[in-house]
Chain A
Amino acid sequence: MVISMSWSRFWRLFITNPLWQALAMGLLASLLAKGLWVAAPVTFAAFDWTFYDTWLRLRAPIATSELLVTVVRDPESEERFGPTLDRTVLAQVVTAVHEAGAVAIGIDHRLDHASPASLGGAASDTLFLEALQAAAPVVLVHDSETALQTGAAIQAHLQVSVQPDRVTRRIPIVSVIEGQEVPAFGALLYDRYRRQQPLPPVQPLISGRTSEEPFNPVGDGSLSALPTTTLSVIWEAIHHHDRRQLEERFSGKVVVILPNHLGPGPWLLPTGQSVTSMVPHLHLLNGLLTGNRIGVAGPWSAFGLTLLLASCIAWGLLRFEGSGGLVFAATALLGYLAITAAVLWSVHFVLPLALPVTAAGIVIIGTIAWTHLTAGPRMMLLEQDMLRVQQDAAAIREALTLRENRAEALEEDLEAARAAVTQSAAQREALTRDTVLLQVQMTEARAQEQAARQQLEMVERQLADLRVAGSDSRTLVDTELERLREECRALGITTQHPLMLSMFRDLKKAAASPLTVLLLGEPGTGKELFARAAHRLSPRTAQAFVAVNMAAISPELFESELFGHVKGSFTGAMADRRGYFELANRGTIFLDEIGDLRLDHQSKLLRVLQEKSFYRVGATAPTAVDVRIVAATNRDLQRGVSEGWFREDLYFRLKGFVFRLPPLRERTGDMAAVAESVLADIAQRMGRPCPRLSNDALRLLTAYQWPGNVRELRNVLERAVALTDGSILSRDAFSLDDTFGCGDTERSVASLPDAAGDRAVLECLRRHGFDMQATANILGWDRSTVTQRLKGLCFQALIESHGDLAKAALAIAGDASQVRTVELKLNEYYHHLLHVIEPFRSVNEAVAECKRRFKNLPERHFVSVDLLIRQHLPSSDGVLELE
């Protein structure tokens, strides 16, 4: 798999990069050219050296070295000494040349045979060896069979390198003969010469390398092209003791003695001459002495140049399509040929010709073919690339959505933090106020304490007097409570709960005041009864008591209902209509479910409370009213203020007298009386004798949590009465919901989400493709409010889908086209929730943290949050279960 991926990547890189393609084509063409020429080595050699051979024929002849003296046989010497030179003669010549001051001596002579008697025998050989010893070291021609041993001679080879076209152009500098490294004759003499000269040290030509050195021939490359001296002349000088002449000829020179006649030989030179092997070596020596060396690119360099040229041409053909590429290729090829010729002419360096030109030809043909072949796959790859880019764009869009969500979440956190800061500041202020108030109250309390002490002393005195009279204080307290109970019962409030009675007593006092009364408590705790009591106990009892359920009024008709309207103010306003406030003028208006009032309606209500006047719908003049306000709600308005869904100024305006009515479950002592009262009422309405509760039934009812309080109790009792024929209601007559049994307080307080409002928001979101800002604009809300709504809906959907994200997203999106967007948001909300609760091990702590964090999340959605937290945190957590 990995290999296939890497191959695929490599292929992609290769097919899209012309440079790689050019290199590959260059390499292929070079190898192909090399392979092609293997079949025709003769033509290859001739072609490869064409420039060189032509140059040798056309150029001006190179200089001959004055340092090189060649002693050759001449007809006179042949007549005198015969065709084969006696070693005695050779010895005398060597001695004379050495004594004349030659720096290096080379003789075209081998020590492979002993002199026959006809040529002086052993005497000649001895003389010759003595001469060599005196002139040591003398360079002789190597022969594997050596008849005469001497340490005075250095052996050199006379080999030449014949190329496949049978032309000799190079000489191996070192040749390995029978495992022995033998240097070339000319090169060895040059090294001997260099060693004798006070020249700066240079790398010896012979340094164990086995490379071949091209020789640079003088003229036509024959022996006659070199300056020579005849043996006869030298012999005459020797025997005339012409020391001066000998020194002039040989002093400081490299002397090569050729004792044998050198006619045409088997080796063909580029100039067309056929020579013996000694002649190329002499030309090599002359070239070295005159500094006319010729460089040749080695096989690897030649291949490298070929690869470079072929790749360059291939690149040009790929880069410039059509005729432009061909022009480039032709220019590159001609340029290379020009460089080859220029380099040869200027620096005497032979660049390869055949291989690069062939490779260039191959690559021109091959590249054109390749261009046509790869057009299809390249198009396919382009299409794949486009597809990939499109996929990348989609992924980027998704990432953008995620980033948006993340930003929103962060924004939310920021707002929560700001609210917390504001709240803490407000709390600090309130605390300061409370401190001052408490100090005042403390002072008052101390004064009251003092007064109370005095009263106590007085009472004690009265007590002492009364003891005498035989009455006690307990009777008096019970009497007070009984009186309050009676008053309550008269107002329809059945209770003997001290707190309730105390509250009633305070209500009596507050009823006289025009201040607003705020009643808090769960549904069914008797808020309306208390409101009516406040009216009845107030001086306005003769006036109207108008009860308005704020949650039941349609938002569109809010103003009309509360403030009334004038005729023609809107369609359907056929006549003037007085609103509830106007109806309650001089009386009391009871605003139930005030916590469910919309923010815009809250501001309008606030205005009425402040100004004591309002405008009817369509009216131009305000209407002043004198109304006692009694408000009630089962919601936590304090939290509404902190969460922003209830106006703080309205809250403070309503908070005149605040009464928190305890739920029925906390009034266990009232259960029997309340049940009896309710049963009596039921029996009366049903026209039946009033049944009674058995003790078991009473215990059951007392233990029940009564989330619906008295309203629920009434229903339960109605059902029990209806189902029971006897006069005793036993435990079995009641079928209470077990989920609200003893201890299960968590669910009992749960409230269902506001399904209608959420549905409207969700529809709006769906219509606008879940665009928060657009939805917020339409709804006239803040963007974060919409977000919180959606978040709550998402949590709810998650609970309903049992944690299946996809299903939940589909449920929220409603349409498959928006599933992805919703899924992303849902995922983000869920993970944010998990992130928030991550540090906590306790459900309560986690819930508390969530409530602190998600202050703008509607209360009803915390049920879902709670369930999600419970699902997430481990169920085995015994501590959690207990909590």
Chain B
Amino acid sequence: MLRRLLLIAVFSLCGGARSFAQAPDSPAPQVPLESPPPPPEALGEEHSSPAPASLEQLDAVMALGESRGAVRLAPDDAGHRLQLAHALYRIGDIDAAMEECRLAIKLQPDDAKAHVQLGILLIAKQDWRAAASVLQEAIRLDPGMADAHYSLGSVHYSLGHLKAAVQSYRQALALQPYFPDARYRLALLLKLSKREGEAAQFMEEAALGGVPQAQFFLGNAYKSGQGVEKDLGKAVFWWAKAAEYGNQPSADLLGKLRRQALAPDQPERKRKEAYDAFVAYRRQLWEEFREYSPADDRETIGTRLLNEHRTDAAVATLLREGYALSEVAQSELARLYETGWDNILPRHERKILACFELTAADGFLPAKRTLARIYGKGIGVQQDLPRAKTLLKGLPKQEANELLAEIGSR
């Protein structure tokens, strides 16, 4: 499972060569996978879950059949041919898709979008020079196409033309100011050009625009102080954001930081540094809900939202705090796991269990205790006493005995 998640994360980080890069304002069927919109169900999760591939493939096959029918009815319609090309691309037949694009361009030579689509297919084929030529032709036909500039920037970079790539991304942003992916790409290139300050600025804008990779790099920048003031709490904040979008490197970094905060063999300074980062992050979560303020030290924003019956954000915030080593939040989550929350949250919610599993694996004792209890009693899972006993190994003896007694009494 973990391996699959890792592979998906790497794939998403490397960019979606298997889909067309489209401007956000582009109509369907373009799916901008460079910065995929976060699925609602992924919110509050440290690891994203992949969509069912079989359904997607079925849709693609269906769409291909429809497109072929449309082309058969109107063979000289360039738009239909472009749809067919997209459908072919979705099923992975890039050569056929390129053929359809060329036919569409032949039918309508001044169609800039057809050129852009062909350019993207050529990028997928890693024919950078041909892609650059086609995309430049598209820009000639329609200089206002931000996505053409964006794609051309990517092509320029692949050809090693860093300055030209920066220029293309700047052009795209000039044409389309709200273009977080272009900002992210531009930030990367500026970072490679050693212009850390400007890069951090664009990276933050992209991160705010919801680009998880930008959030990951911004977290890195805060961690190492590149272009921004060093702040490990903010780094945790942005890594957590990225992780919520399924960014595996960010999840890994958070896991590493948790282990650093909890591992007994780590130097005290490093442990404290890591732990303080999570505390700062939890404090920062209050700022997202400025209408609330903490009543006491033990109160967290998650518990406050729960108490306030904020069904939209309470569980997600509690999960964030749980991942951020909040014992209070985890205690509340343990209760919610057992009891559920009316119709809002079912009992034995897997996301909560996943939070316990992950933090317990990182060495968080409250999570271990909770998890031992869950496995010992078989709450929402199959009872697994050996595992429960294993989880109790790091706990204080008295507490472990009490827990064992509780499990045994059942």
Contacts and interface: CB of A to CB of B under 8 A. Distances in A.
Please say whether chains A and B are actual partners in one complex: yes
A768 interface: no
Given A118-B126, A121-B154, A241-B259, A149 B194 contact: yes
Interface footprint category on A: 20 to 34
A120 B13 contact: yes
A74 B158 CA distance: 27
B238 to A, nearest CB: 14
Interface footprint category on B: 35 or more
Given A119-B14, A147-B162, A126 B191 contact: yes
A125 B189 CA distance: 9
Contacts of B2: 239
A113 interface: yes
A116 B158 contact: yes
Nearest to A236: B3
A780 B188 CA distance: 134
Q: Most chain-B CB neighbours within 10 Å: which of A80, A116, A125?
A: A116
Q: Most chain-B CB neighbours within 10 Å: which of A80, A119, A122, A148?
A: A122
Q: Most chain-B CB neighbours within 10 Å: which of A114, A117, A134?
A: A117
Interface in B207-221: 213, 217, 220
Interface string B352-391: 0000000000000000000000000000000000000000
A116 B157 CA distance: 7
A80 B13 CA distance: 16
Given A122-B189, A130-B220, A147 B13 contact: no
Interface in B128-187: 128, 154-155, 157-160, 162, 165, 185
A109 to B, nearest CB: 16
A856 interface: no
B96 interface: no
A806 interface: no
Contact of B10 (A86, A130, A148, A243): A86
Nearest to A240: B2
Interface string A807-844: 00000000000000000000000000000000000000
Interface in B244-276: 249, 255-256, 259
A241 B256 contact: yes
B407 interface: no
B42 interface: no
B76 to A, nearest CB: 33
Interface string A255-274: 00000000000000000000
A121 B186 CA distance: 12
Contact of A126 (B14, B162, B217, B256): B217
B3 A239 contact: yes
B162 A124 contact: no
A88 interface: yes
A147 B193 CA distance: 10
A89 interface: yes
A148 B162 CA distance: 9
Nearest to B154: A117
Contacts of B162: 114, 147
Interface in A119-163: 119-127, 129-130, 133-134, 147-149
B157 A122 contact: yes
Given A121-B154, A121-B158, A147-B162, A88 B13 contact: yes
A89 B157 contact: no
B383 to A, nearest CB: 26
Nearest to A115: B158
B192 interface: yes
B91 interface: no
A124 B14 contact: yes
B259 A118 contact: no
B266 to A, nearest CB: 10
A123 B123 contact: no
B15 interface: yes
B306 interface: no
A147 B160 contact: yes
B17 interface: yes
A170 B104 CA distance: 60
B17 A88 contact: no
B158 A114 contact: yes
B272 to A, nearest CB: 19
B285 interface: no
Contacts of A149: 192-194
Contacts of B220: 130
B255 A126 contact: no
Nearest to B184: A123
B6 interface: yes
Interface string A769-799: 0000000000000000000000000000000
Contact of A117 (B6, B123, B193, B255): B123
Interface string B226-237: 000000000000
Contacts of A122: 157, 165, 185, 188-189, 192
Given A126-B191, A148-B192, A117 B10 contact: no
Given A126-B191, A239-B2, A120 B126 contact: no
A78 to B, nearest CB: 15
A119 B224 CA distance: 25
A609 B123 CA distance: 162
- What are the 8 closest A-B residue pairs judged by CB atoms, nearest first? A122-B188, A120-B14, A116-B158, A147-B160, A114-B160, A118-B17, A117-B154, A126-B188
16 contacts: A88-B14, A113-B160, A114-B160, A114-B162, A115-B158, A116-B126, A116-B128, A117-B123, A118-B124, A122-B185, A122-B192, A123-B15, A129-B192, A133-B224, A239-B6, A241-B259
Given A114-B160, A124-B14, A126-B191, 13 more contacts: A80-B7, A88-B10, A115-B158, A117-B158, A118-B124, A118-B126, A120-B14, A121-B158, A121-B185, A121-B188, A123-B14, A134-B224, A241-B259
